[in-house]
Amino acid sequence: MLVAPDYDAKLAPYGLRNQSSNDLFNALNAAINGVQNDGTDETLVTLNQRQDLIRVYTCRQSTQIPVVNRNDTTGFLQDILFNTKKLLIGGIGPSDWGAHDGNYKDRNPIGFYPGLLDKIVEKLGQLSGPDGNKYGEGLTIERTYYQDSGLLFSALLNGKIHATDVYTLVDVSYTGSGENCTKDNNTCRAEETCTENICTHAPRPRSLHFRTTCTTASRDTKFITKKLSGIKSIQPDAPRQTPKTRWIGFVLLFVTLFATVFLVLVILLRRKKNYRAQHTLQGGFGKFVRLQEESEPPMDGLDAFDDHIVQSPRDNTN
């Protein structure tokens, strides 16, 4: 999650001037840490069958991250706890990412990412400062969607939203708010320039330009496939595997293997030839016979052998 920094003439001249995100930022980190300590995020991964997520915790600890007392909160957090009871969250979309990730076109989206944010906000209400008084139950989420990241970050820096959603990528660059401007009257915020009537910023990692909370979720971006498979990229809109589809796959695999084994046995049985026993010399310690294919004419000359050896016409390899 990304939070706009407070104004600082040197470090963040583009930051918030009329509000403060300090206490909210600390509270979000404490809430994320609490969700991870409880194992709630792992439970959500299992329930929503997210198999590409990996555990990358950046501020996990066994005790609650310290936060200020409820009555001492300031800025956004104070307004949330004492007035609105709402956490304003911004995202891009709305998009339907399916039942596993979340369908944000629904008024009350469900899935891994919506569920994770719900648990974080729930945990935020359970936080308490040194005095032991909880922040308060009943906090809600109000989502606002934007068409692109420029509009999203513009709203964040203007204080229209408190933070970005939990799925917002942090390993890409911030390139400007995208707000309209003119060269004659440069209205861009600090450190941004007007380029072709658009406010732009030299590429800078989002994690440095904004306040970045503890990691909420991470996923592997590289997967191993067969060289000749032809797979070049992962399609995010491709249907995901479910337990039902996996069982169907197992059944089809079993049927295929069974049919293959059955076919091989049939071929072997059809190729098997009948043999009959032909007596040779009698005497010694017993009767000796020669195995002879049914289609092969009798060989009467075998009685000429002095030694009693069992022979087969196929034993002709050296």
Do 162 and 47 lie in one domain? The reply is yes
In terms of residue numbers, what domain contains 33? 2-222
Query: Is residue 21 one of the residues assigned to a domain?
Result: yes
Do 19 and 46 lie in one domain? The reply is yes
For position 307, what pLDDT does the model report? 43
What is the rounded CA–CA span in Å between residue 174 and residue 75?
A: 25
Mean of pLDDT values over 151-174: 94
Nearest CA to 155 out of 143, 166, 167 is that of: 143
What is the rounded CA–CA span in Å between residue 48 and residue 303?
A: 80
Query: Is residue 64 one of the residues assigned to a domain?
Result: yes
Q: Are β-strands 204-205 and 173-174 bridged in parallel, bridged antiparallel, or unpaired?
A: antiparallel
| Residue with tokens 């980190």, as numbered in its chain | 29
What digits encode the pLDDT tens for the residues 206-237? 999 999 999 988 765 555 566 665 555 554 44
For position 54, what pLDDT does the model report? 72
Query: Is residue 235 one of the residues assigned to a domain?
Result: no
Number of domains in the chain: 3
Q: Which amino acid is located at 37 in the chain?
A: N
Query: Is residue 109 one of the residues assigned to a domain?
Result: yes
What is the rounded CA–CA span in Å between residue 163 and residue 21?
A: 9
Nearest CA to 58 out of 21, 35, 33, 24 is that of: 33
What digits encode the pLDDT tens for the residues 11-21? 999 999 999 99
Beta bridge partners of 195: 198
| Residue 123 Cα distances to 7, 38, 50, 66, 187, angstroms | 28, 10, 22, 14, 40
For position 233, what pLDDT does the model report? 54
**3-state DSSP assignment of residue 12:** strand
Ranking 10-19, 190-199, 289-298 by mean pLDDT, the lowest is 289-298
For position 51, what pLDDT does the model report? 73
Is the pLDDT at 298 greater than 60? The verdict is: no
Query: Is residue 265 one of the residues assigned to a domain?
Result: yes
Would you give the DSSP letter of residue 165?
Answer: -
Is the pLDDT at 314 greater than 80? The verdict is: no
What is the rounded CA–CA span in Å between residue 41 and residue 115?
A: 9
| Residue percentage of the chain with pLDDT more than 90 | 54
Joined together, the tokens standing for residue 144 give: 């606002």
> How sure is the predictor about 256, in pLDDT bands with cuts at 50, 70 and 90?
confident
Q: What is the mean pLDDT of the chain?
A: 82
**3-state DSSP assignment of residue 283:** coil
What digits encode the pLDDT tens for the residues 103-142? 999 989 999 999 999 999 999 999 999 999 999 989 999 9
Do 263 and 292 lie in one domain? The reply is no
Joined together, the tokens standing for residue 235 give: 């399609």
Query: Is residue 229 one of the residues assigned to a domain?
Result: no
Contact present, 179 and 198 (Cβ < 8 Å): yes
Q: Which amino acid is located at 87 in the chain?
A: L
Q: Model's pTM, two decimal places? A: 0.69
Mean of pLDDT values over 79-89: 98
